[in-house]
Amino acid sequence: MLNALLGRIRQKHRTIAYPAEPALLPELFRGYPGLDQDKCPAGCAVCSEACPSGAIFHANGLALDMGKCLFCPECVRACPAGAISFTRDEKLAASQREDLVVRAGEERRLAHALGQELLSLLGRSLKLREVSAGGCNACEADTNVLSTVGFDLGRFGIQFVASPRNADGIYVTGPVTENMRSALMKTWEAIPGPKIVIAAGACAIDGGPYHGRPEVHDGIDKFLPVDLYVPGCPPHPVTILDGLLRLLERI
């Protein structure tokens, strides 16, 4: 026991200071997309052709759907003019599906807080039941990290619970496979109302790399009304945390 205490003292404080201080992100982190319409050659579509998930398109200008985006660098490599980049901005979550579509020159729309009535019912806590609806475990792993000492999600009153009966909402990862659809809906029905829905990762939002396959249902909003979309493949833990805090009006 003494050795454990001494080891803890040597380690010092390990929890990140976010959101009070900027997050320390890995060198290869790819965050909010940067689009420069002035650099985009007219009639050029090499970025769209290179995108493995159909996230980039041209409709009255260059646009990128973060709900579909896998945040891979293929579009950046393909663009001959450097019109596409990924910044180191971790703030990606949105409250509306259409707000995930980034257009060159348009104002950014971040997630907003739940209604005051629901916030007052939740108080200073939020209990979530996580459902992996056919996920590959990448989103699940980055979500689980939030409960470690490094992030300490519990300090914000947010916890993942074992029973849907004790939850305020459902946190979904994965593209909603047919084999998981029934279990997902039963979990949702077991949560007492009022309740919320969070879609985390490209698969839960739009099917991700499995979009259009007959075995999946291309995301959770085909079945349930989503209150928070957290894009990424997988979303970084800080991106998830930022979205949750915005939902609870903590940022």
CATH of the domain at 173: 3.40.50.12280
Confirm whether 19 is domain-assigned.
Answer: no
The CA–CA distances, whole Å, from 150 to 1, 17, 141, 242 equal 22, 10, 14, 15
Confirm whether 94 is domain-assigned.
Answer: no
Confirm whether 123 is domain-assigned.
Answer: yes
Confirm whether 236 is domain-assigned.
Answer: yes
Confirm whether 220 is domain-assigned.
Answer: yes
Please state, in angstroms and rounded to a whole number, the distance separating the CA atoms of residues 96 and 247: 12
* 114 Rama class: left (phi>0) / alpha (psi -120 to 50) / beta: beta
pLDDT tens per residue, the chain (251 residues)? 788 777 767 767 679 999 999 988 999 999 999 999 999 888 788 999 999 999 999 888 899 999 999 999 999 999 999 999 999 999 999 999 999 999 988 889 999 999 999 999 888 899 999 999 999 999 999 999 999 989 999 999 999 999 999 999 999 999 999 999 999 999 999 999 999 999 999 999 999 999 999 999 998 998 999 999 999 999 999 999 999 999 999 88
Strands in 228-230's sheet, in edge-to-edge order, are 158-160, 126-132, 169-173, 196-200, 228-230
Confirm whether 132 is domain-assigned.
Answer: yes
Confirm whether 2 is domain-assigned.
Answer: no
Confirm whether 17 is domain-assigned.
Answer: no
pLDDT of residue 2: 80
**Domain extent at residue 163:** 116-247
Q: How many domains does the chain have?
A: 1
